[in-house]
Amino acid sequence: MKSSCIKSIFVGIAGTLISLVPPVTAAAYPDKPVTLVVSFAPGGMTDIVGRLLAVELSKKFNQTFVVENKAGAAGQIGTEYVARQKNDGYTLLISATGHVIGPAVSKNVRYQPVKDFEPIAILARAPNLFVVNSALPVKNLSEFIAWGKSQKSVPYGSAGFGGSTHLGGELFRHVANVPLEHVPYKGASPATNAVVSGEIQFAIQDSMSVAPFIKSGQLRPIAIASANRSSLFPDLKTIAESGYPGFDVYTWLGLYAPAGTDAQIVTELNEATNKIMNSPEMTARLQQQNSEPGGVMTPKQVKDFVQAETEKWKKMVELTGVKVEN
């Protein structure tokens, strides 16, 4: 009896001590470096914004966020790579509008923009500009059209097959009857450099990528491709107001995680990214680069936006008949 009582006392004490020990929990995210895969070459809008974000996320989480460029096929290579990674929050994707266009223009794209990813945030937006080498004797869109129709063909550079800059060119060829010939590059930076060097005379690019060359006088903007004039280029006419109503093509950047990533990780990244990208300091930095924040959205709102953009660009692909066999 006495032995039994003593045993009960020890069991009770042991139970009390165990209850005082805090439960073992998973390490707080992130507990190791996070890779931000940028699906375009260094130097373009996606890369610039990705590096700005990486610095601020590193500060916010007290952990390293590092940019890794995986360029090619208008972002398809980097996007497919991230889709195949573990959904643990340690490999994320930063891509542009081509993320939602790719599956519509090529049957060989091995990802779905909504199904295979957890959309986290819309980082930035920028109007697409029609730019020419400053040596070309055209000052506006009307002069460019007249010049273009006098040519056998007009090569134009884009950030790659199936991106917004590619589709913008094909749409303009369709509505303006100018003999444009697509020349794809592995990102906005090499496409822009090709116009600056005179390799080609014309390109359609996001405003961030071409702005430094416009300021230096090496490139001349002749039209803005979004529906409304931009506060960044208030005197530049839109294609719509130049006689082609409904023309609306712009670039936006999104942050994504592989499908199935823990909802809490997605929420933490969404809240941190929204705060960073829409802060007064970052807004000013983006405006200096001729772009603007993408706006504050919840993960559900981001997903709805990506779905709507997927449908929008699918219709444009059907209108222009663009198909990429890669």
The C-alpha angle 123, 76, 214, rounded to 5 degrees, equals 55
Cα distance between residue 259 and residue 323, in whole Å: 27
Question: What is each CA distance from 72 to 27, 95, 113, 184, 185, in whole angstroms?
Answer: 35, 12, 17, 10, 8
Cα distance between residue 15 and residue 191, in whole Å: 69
What mean pLDDT do residues 106-114 have? 89
Per-residue pLDDT at 299 exceeds 70: yes
Cα distance between residue 103 and residue 116, in whole Å: 12
For residues 323 and 315, the model is more confident at 315
Model-level pTM?
0.81
Cβ-based burial of 137 (10 A; exposed 0-12, middle 13-18, buried ≥19) = exposed
Per-residue pLDDT at 21 exceeds 80: no
Token readout for 193 is 């450099």
Question: Does a cis peptide bond (omega within 30 degrees of 0) precede residue 30?
Answer: yes
At 323 the pLDDT is: 79
What mean pLDDT do residues 136-164 have? 93
pLDDT band at 198 (very low <50, low <70, confident <90, very high): very high
Cβ-based burial of 178 (10 A; exposed 0-12, middle 13-18, buried ≥19) = buried
CATH number for the region 34-125+251-320 comes to: 3.40.190.150
Q: Which residues contact 67 (CB under 8 A, 6 or more apart)?
A: 36, 38, 47, 50, 51, 54
Within 10 A of 28 (CB to CB), how many other CB atoms are there?
9
**pLDDT mean across residues, the chain:** 89
> Which of these ranges, 92-96, 120-124, 307-311, 320-324, has the smallest mean pLDDT?
320-324
Question: Where do the domains of the chain lie?
Answer: 34-125+251-320, 127-242
At 27 the pLDDT is: 61
List Cβ<8 Å contacts ≥24 apart for 18-25: none
At 161 the pLDDT is: 82
What CATH class is the domain 127-242? alpha beta
Per-residue pLDDT at 8 exceeds 70: no
Buried b (16+ CB within 10 A) or exposed e, 248-276: bbbbbbbbbbbeebeeebbebbbbbbbeb
At 24 the pLDDT is: 32
3-class DSSP string for 147-216: HHHCCCCEEEEECCCCCHHHHHHHHHHHHHCCCEEEEECCCHHHHHHHHHHCCCCEEEEEHHHHHHHHHC
Cα distance between residue 247 and residue 110, in whole Å: 29
Are 34-125+251-320 and 127-242 the same fold in CATH?
yes
What mean pLDDT do residues 196-207 have? 94
Contact 182, 154 (CB under 8 A): no
Q: Which residues contact 302 (CB under 8 A, 6 or more apart)?
A: 119, 120, 121, 122, 254, 270
